[in-house]
Amino acid sequence: MKMTVYGSGCAKCQQLTSNAEAAAKRLGLEYEVEKVTDVNAIIEAGVMRTPALAVDDEILVEGKVPRSDELQQLLG
């Protein structure tokens, strides 16, 4: 699966990345992480609020940083 984190690279973006990776590892999923920081690419993806997380190009989280257990439920 491909997880894409949209945002400026701020602390919240980094936390979202860490939480998503932890959730995927607990589920035993194979994944790759892409970080998108380009404002135009973020807008083209349809993201209105960052940080955001998309899995296989479907936006799951926008404008917040869920805990890893919350993300685990979304990914599972």
Question: Active-site residue numbers?
Answer: 10, 13
Radius of gyration of the chain (CA): 11
Both ends of the chain: CA-CA distance in Å? 12
Distance CA 61, CA 76 (A): 15
Report the distance separating Cα 29 and Cα 41, nearest Å: 26
